[in-house]
Structure 1
Amino acid sequence: MSKIKTRTFDAANYLNTEEDAAAYLDAAMADGDPALLAAALGDIARARGMTQLAKDTGLSRESLYKSLSGERAPSSETLFKVINAMGFKLSVVPAAAR
């Protein structure tokens, strides 16, 4: 019997368009977990290239990898720098009636 080879799932491999990335980020934000938001931004950054994001934000690649790992919630300053550098715009809408 042959062995089946598998790979760990990596969302960065499937974020091919701006629409994909925006939908992924929107879903992460809907969860309300800052660490999940950071991880989603990290996946998008890896899909696009972390080096360019580092240049655009003025942060080091190492700092970005740590901040966007999903292991912790990064500072709001870092989140805003990353979101703006990625070309996304945050908006606020009323939550659905409870």
Structure 2
Amino acid sequence: MEVGDDLHPDDPNNLCFGCGHHTPHGLLLKIIYVGGHSAEAKCEAPAYLCGAPNAVHGGIQATLLDEARILDVAANVLTTSQARWLRLESS
């Protein structure tokens, strides 16, 4: 795996709400390998995914956490038994 590789290639059969590239109302996460035991994903949530003004709905936040955790378990990106860090930012 090379730095910059998309961990979920453009597969028309991947209809995952989080990372599927062909799910129009999904999060359309592009999860990129950044080296070592790390990956990065960015999500700009549209207004219809907000529970209150400028606050992403808790269910969507849980989905983002679920996507991060599945990388740890299934994608073999985060393979150490060290503590995991997930940073959520809001603009």
TM-score normalised to structure 2 length = 0.36
More strand by share: 2
Instruction: Look at both structures and tell me which one has the larger radius of gyration over its CA atoms.
Output: 1
More helix by share: 1
TM-score normalised to structure 1 length = 0.34
